[in-house]
Amino acid sequence: MKLVMIIDKRRCYGCNGCTVACKQANATPPGTFYTKTLTQEKGKFPNSKVEYMPLICNHCDNAPCVEVCPTGASKKLKDGTVQVTASECVGCQLCMEACPYDARYFNSEDVPTYWGSKGQDAYEKLRSKEHVSGTVDKCTFCASRRERNLPPACVETCPAIARFFGDLDDPKSEVSKLFKQYKPKPYLPEEGTKPSVFYIE
Amino acid sequence: MANSFSKVSRRTVLKAAGVLGTAAVIGTGYTGKSEAKGLAEVKTAPHGKDGWHFSHCRMCMRGDCANMYRVENGVVVELKGNPKSENGKGTMCARGQSLIQNLYNPYRVKAPMKRTNPKKGLNEDPMWVEISWDEALNTTAKKLKEVRDKDPRRFIFQVGFGDMNYFCTYLFYFAAAYGTPNYLKSNGTLCALHYAADLVQGIFPVTVSDLTYAKYVVTMGRHTGMSIGAANGGARGAVDAIVGGKTKFVVVDPRCSAEAGKGDWVPIKPGTDLAFLMGVAHSIIYEVKKYDVESLRWWTNSPYLINANGDYFRGKDGKPQIYDLSDKKVKSFDDKTLKTPDIEAEIKVGKEKLKASFLLVKESLKGNTPEWAEKITTVPAGKIRKVAEEFVENASIGKTVELKDNSGKVRKFPLRTSSIICQRGTMGQRDGVGGDLMSKVINMLVGSLDVPGGNVACARGPFLSPDKDGVVEPKMEALFKEPTWPPQHIDLYEFFPHKHSIPALAYQVAMDPHKYGLEYEIDALLTVGGNPISSSTEPYMVAESVSRIPFSATLAYHYDEMAHMSDILLPSHAILEKESVNCYESAFDVYQKDTMGLKMLMYRDPFPSVYDSRQSQDIIMDISERMGIISNFNDAMNKMGVMIGEISIAFLDKEDYFDLDKRYTVREVWDRGVRKYFGKEHTMDSMNKTGLIIQREAPGDCYNTGRYDKGETRFPFYFARLKDSGDKLRSFFDKHKDKIYMPGWDIKEHLSFYEPTISWRPNKVNSVKKDDKYDLVSITYKTQYSPMRIGAVDQLPYLNEVGETFDPFYGTVSLNTETAKEKSLVNGDTVVIESEYGKVNGKLFVTELLQPGVVGVAGALGRLNEASGPKGTKYLHYNKLTGNNINDFDPVAMGVTNTVPVRIYKQS
């Protein structure tokens, strides 16, 4: 099994629905973005254009974060994803430095909240503990949703239908068909990380 | 290599929260810190039933998207789109995904409150004291009854998009039950879009491109859903059309929007859209010389003969006359022998010199060459010509398409695959209605109004019908109402019969109504979901006026500006707490195959209230009951129908009328509406189980032209009704000119806009040039995270964070690189934008995505009081730059000019 994500950049219109869906699905603390979409500009006026660049953990086959992890907390799983086991993470943040995609975040707060001095709301009280203070977090390709047979939140929510997720080892999967049709490319291939995220330009 | 605006990393994102700290708003030093502090702690513990529940969104004014929320341990923990919805297909945007924060927002009004500081003002602490619901309702009902007993006109019922959901029981029903003419909407004052659609296509509120067949779409001053990140299917359809190579999008806009990024961006100087449109129309008529003569002859009033006064030349039967080329005779428009209507006729009948309407329009455009337009718009003449040529080339003139209707019968329609649509950026100008009407002219030149692939009404079903002259019967804001003296409406509606909403003018008048000819003063104000202070123009003037109203109550979600000025606060539910139905059956952006003909009712299963709030409709019905006007309220519902969507009103059968004296629940009201609109098998109980009702019109019933044969109903190419409105108003103003008070108002100039063919006029905005005091033009536009303030999206941390971190235009001031250089400004400077009306400041973002000479301000952000939410006044408030000068309004729709001459400089 090789779980991959294909992102059709031609379709993305930069709404960041993915970013916020990810935040609520994973209850990530302020400042943490497992996925995000950047606004970019190309060219000089009047021939300039706005473009959008969705980013997410690439779940690399040659993952630098896994290589540098001193405790083995970061690991490559058989399904192709890279995951962090919080109980094994010592919070050294070497993986954050190693990742060329800036895809990892450190949980610095014991009681994170979006509401400042007002304190945590009911949702945060219930869910913020999913992120262990003093450890490093990243996109899991929505592991907990996949256990419920749901696709990653960013894929499900995308109003432009620009994200596709599935098993590249299954020739009948949508991602396999898209891969064959469009030959999508990874981001920063020169890093040699062999990402599991591909872009249709 | 692309230039990333934000080098986003784990290091920079943590700093982002402080970025906007410098964007303080000029105008008040009041911090308002004591506003909501410590008031009304949580009254009720939230314990919803665990599991998934049906819902729908209201985080933008459309509220089109069906979604679902999941409850775990009594807490809403997860959201998703309803996968069965046929417009959204189970997707959600960033705003919808923030519904949990809308629910648990600690800045909400958590219990009924009364003001103890009698002094009102944005800088005054209201000194709130918590009271019981009984006291809040009784106080409000008692005050409103006293005023009503004295004179119902003394009451303003102020509404807006904020608390529509979309059932509007409490809106016009309450105004009707109360008997006040002063039902004011704060929505739309900077967005008066409707007159041309109402006049030309007989539809409210707008028209859109039909992407099911479109090959060529020109879109101006608007978005197709992408720029607001919409999940309702329009933007997805636009992406399908563009990426699939089926449709070319030409985006005429001062900034490169998401749509422009995917299509062909044509930058234009703000406020000059009409000149561009006139250039295109000129080029089609005089240069391309190819247009749909057959459609103009039979589907427009182009052949109608016009006399020297500019009116229809009428025969002895009183009907407009047409010159028939086939037998050289003048005939009534509906003469059965009519064979070849002449659209370029120039004849004499008796002593009268007559010209065909088309000829007059053609002549009016003679001087508007692409070169002429280039000088005004900055769009190269060659580009204007190219758009004209491509528009005609891609229009499929002469082609037809066969579509099945609901009965299975095949109908043949003209197929026209080019369309041009204008909205807010074009229309929020002094000549906004002229611009929109000119866009209709261009569409009519290729026959693309209300046919497959063209510029179609936003709604389906039968709505088009001819008036006595055989021309489309106008609707809503295009209807003319005879003016009366003295004026009855606080917004002087009598003077402006085609206005959309002009709340700032109303509040200006309310400060001294007798001066304006009114016979009464304003004693009371009730606000529901509207905010004329933050959402209108000249906010400090509006706030001052509101502060002078002796009694004010607000159904308040949070402590916004209107709540801040109130005597009583009646806390209203967050979105997920409201039981609701809403019918999607209209596209306001574009139509595509998934949405064409779709009629979808969405249901929301309410989450138990987190605080001591109530549903708005219930609050209003309670007030009505306590005032003793519930029978009037029920009577209004019987007469006006049950509203179950923005354009969906169920007119009840008499046997289902509400008993006049009974206090119904809002659920009971909806139940009758749903059964009437969708069939008796559908009830609120069944909605709770299914979440959605989906019905569809067959394609053959989606286009209104299919309901008529040629010549049976004609779109106005020559705007005789607009001229007629002007003639009647001129007579009215002449009669009462000594009594009309409006200092500086140029009535003659105002009425000159009521013309049958559209003229170009220089104005404050389109004439801005270098070396003027105000040498730049500011624009504002909708964005993904805060297209408007509905749902308090400008104050929800998820959206603030994503905007500040990933969108360089969010909360900033943008300038083109060249303009920034001329002004010696650099990225990150704190700059002041100053207009003749006010100043704001913010951090500068220098970009290549904006027309030079333009100051860009994204989204509806910025408040005037700190208590609105966590961001308080941190973002700049664009509306402070706009003015309430009637000489700058569009004289027909009375839209406020939302592009403003400004200057910019570095804050010292």
Residue B728 Cα to chain centre, angstroms: 27
Confidence at residue B806, expressed as pLDDT on a 0 to 100 scale: 97
**CB–CB contact A31 B229 (8 Å):** no
> For residue B230, what is the nearest residue in chain A, using CA coordinates?
A159
Between B621 and B46, residue with greater pLDDT: B621
| Count of structural domains, chain A | 1
End-to-end CA distance of chain A: 25
Full residue range of the structural domain in which residue A195 is found:
3-200
Query: What's the rounded mean pLDDT across residues B440-456?
Result: 97
Say if CB A183 and CB A8 are below 8 A apart: no
The whole-number average pLDDT for the span B746-771 is 97
Provide the sign of the torsion angle of the four alpha carbons B278, B279, B283, B284, taken in this order: negative
A45 at the B interface (CB within 8 A)? Answer: yes
B-chain CB neighbours of A104 within 8 Å are 10
Contacts of B423 by beta carbon, 8 Å cutoff, 6+ apart: B193, B206, B220, B221, B222
Compute the distance between CA of residue B693 and CA of residue B691 in angstroms, rounded to an integer.
7
Amino acid in position B884: N
Q: What percent of chain B has pLDDT over 70?
A: 94
pLDDT single digits (tens) B299-342: 999 999 999 999 999 999 999 999 999 999 999 999 999 999 99
Q: In whole angstroms, give the CA distance from residue B337 to residue B339.
A: 6
Q: Tell me, what's the pLDDT at B163?
A: 77
* Cis peptide bond prior to B166, omega within 30° of 0: yes
Chain B interface includes A119 (CB < 8 A): yes
pLDDT of residue B164: 73
Question: pLDDT tens across A43-95, in order?
Answer: 999 999 999 999 999 999 999 999 999 999 999 999 999 999 999 999 999 99
Report the sign of the C-alpha dihedral through residues B846, B850, B851, B855, in that order: negative
Q: Which residues pair with B568 in a beta bridge?
A: B114, B553
Query: Are the CB atoms for B206 and B193 separated by under 8 Å?
Result: yes
Query: Residue B264's pLDDT is what?
Result: 97
Q: Per-residue pLDDT for A116 more than 70?
A: yes
Determine, for residues B81 and A156 on separate chains, whether the beta-carbon distance falls below 8 Å: yes
B230 chain-A contacts, CB cut-off 8 A: 15, 159
Beta bridge partners of B409: none
- A196/B652 Cα distance (integer angstroms): 57
Q: How far is Cα of residue B508 from the mean position of the Cα atoms in its chain? A: 22
pLDDT band at B120 (very low <50, low <70, confident <90, very high): very high
B9: contact with A, CB 8 A cutoff: yes
3-class SS of residue B792: helix
Nearest residue, CB atoms, A24 vs list B100, B610, B806? B100
Q: Which has more confidence, A132 or B13? A: A132
Q: Each residue of B59-70: pLDDT tens digit? A: 998 889 999 999
The answer, for B816 touching chain A at a CB cutoff of 8 Å, is yes
Residue B186 reports pLDDT greater than 90: no
Q: What is the pLDDT of residue B586?
A: 87
Q: How far apart are CA B87 and CA B598, in angstroms?
A: 8
Shortest CA distance to B330 belongs to which of B349, B317, B344?
A: B349
Q: Contact B436/B200 with Cβ under 8 angstroms?
A: no
Domains of chain B: 10-27+766-906 (2.40.40.20)
Reported as a single tens digit per residue, the pLDDT across B86-107 is 999 999 999 999 999 999 999 9
- Smallest CA–CA distance, residue B687 to chain A, in Å, is 24
Which residues between 65 and 94 in chain A have a beta carbon less than 8 angstroms from any beta carbon of chain B? Answer: none
- What pLDDT shows up at residue B170? 57
Nearest residue, CB atoms, A39 vs list B5, B80, B799: B5
Q: How many CB atoms lie within 10 A of CB B265?
A: 24
Q: Would you call B117 exposed, middle or buried from its count of C-beta atoms within 10 A (0-12, 13-18, 19+)?
A: exposed
Which helix or strand (DSSP H or E) is residue B472 part of? none
Contacts of B585 (CB under 8 A, 6+ apart): B459, B460, B461, B598, B599, B600, B645, B647, B648
B647 confidence band (pLDDT: 50, 70, 90): confident
Cβ separation of A41 and B231 shorter than 8 Å? no
pLDDT, tens only, B218-253: 999 999 999 999 999 999 999 999 999 999 999 999
pLDDT, average across residues B157-179: 79
Rounded to whole angstroms, how far apart are CA atoms A54 and A35? Answer: 7
Q: What is the Cα gyration radius of chain A?
A: 17
Query: Do the chains contact at B229 and A17, CB–CB below 8 Å?
Result: yes
Backbone angles phi, psi at B855, to 5 degrees: -105, 120
Indicate yes or no: CB of A122 within 8 angstroms of CB of B817.
no
Question: Can you tell me the distance from the alpha carbon of B813 to that of B381, in angstroms, rounded to the nearest whole number?
Answer: 30
CB neighbours of B616 closer than 8 A, spacing ≥ 6? B163, B165, B170, B528, B529, B555, B572, B573, B578
| Nearest CA distance, B76 vs chain A (angstrom) | 7
CATH code of the domain in which A19 resides: 3.30.70.20
Tens-place pLDDT, residues B517-553: 999 999 999 999 999 999 989 999 999 999 999 999 9
A34 and A57 in contact (C-beta within 8 Å)?
yes
Give which of B228, B110, B757 is closest to A121, Cα–Cα.
B110
User: What pLDDT is recorded for position B166?
Assistant: 54
What distance in Å separates the CA atoms of residue B453 and residue B439, rounded to the nearest whole number?
Answer: 16
Question: Is the pLDDT at B506 greater than 70, yes or no?
Answer: yes
Q: Please, what's the b/e burial string for B48-64 (b: 16 or more CB within 10 A of its CB; e: otherwise)?
A: beeeebbbbbbbbbbbb
- Strands B551-556 and B524-528 turn out to be parallel
Number of neighbouring beta carbons within 10 Å of residue B400: 12
**How many other CB atoms are there within 10 angstroms of residue B581's CB atom?**
28
Residue-averaged pLDDT of chain B? 92
Given an 8 Å threshold on Cβ–Cβ distance, is B261 in contact with A51? yes
Q: Report whether pLDDT(B5) > 50.
A: no
**Sign of the C-alpha dihedral computed for residues B252, B254, B258 and B262 taken in this order:** positive
pLDDT, tens only, B237-296: 999 999 999 999 999 999 999 999 999 999 999 999 999 999 999 999 999 999 999 999
Backbone φ, ψ for residue B365 (5° rounding): -100, 5
Structure tokens at B54: 């049906």
Q: Are the C-beta atoms of residues A156 and A22 closer than 8 Å to each other?
A: no
Contact: A13, B258; criterion CB under 8 Å: yes
pLDDT of residue B30: 30
On whether any CB of chain A is under 8 Å from the CB of B17, the answer is yes
Nearest Cβ partner for B802 among A16, A40, A156: A16
Min distance B229 CA to chain A CA atoms (Å):
4
What residues contact B822, with CB distance under 8 A and at least 6 apart? none
Rounded mean pLDDT of B410-436? 96
Integer distance in angstroms from the first to the last C-alpha of chain B? 36
Q: Are B808 and B778 in contact (CB under 8 A)?
A: no
Least confident of B180-189, B391-400, B561-570: B180-189
Per CB-CB distance under 8 Å, the chain B contacts of A138 are: none
Give me the interface pTM, i.e. the ipTM. 0.98
Q: Is B827 on the interface with A (CB under 8 A)?
A: no
> Residue A188 in contact with residue A52, Cβ under 8 Å?
no
Residue B1 has pLDDT above 60, yes or no: no
pLDDT of B19 strictly over 80: no
Determine contact: B810 vs chain A, CB below 8 A: no
What is the per-residue pLDDT for B889? 95
Supply the mean pLDDT for chain A. 97
Measured CA to CA, the distance from residue B527 to residue B569 in angstroms comes to 10
Average pLDDT over residues B67-95: 96
**B769-825 pLDDT tens trace:** 999 999 999 999 999 999 989 999 999 999 999 999 999 999 999 999 999 999 999
| Residue B329 · residue B479 · CB < 8 Å | no
pLDDT over 70 at B23, yes or no:
no
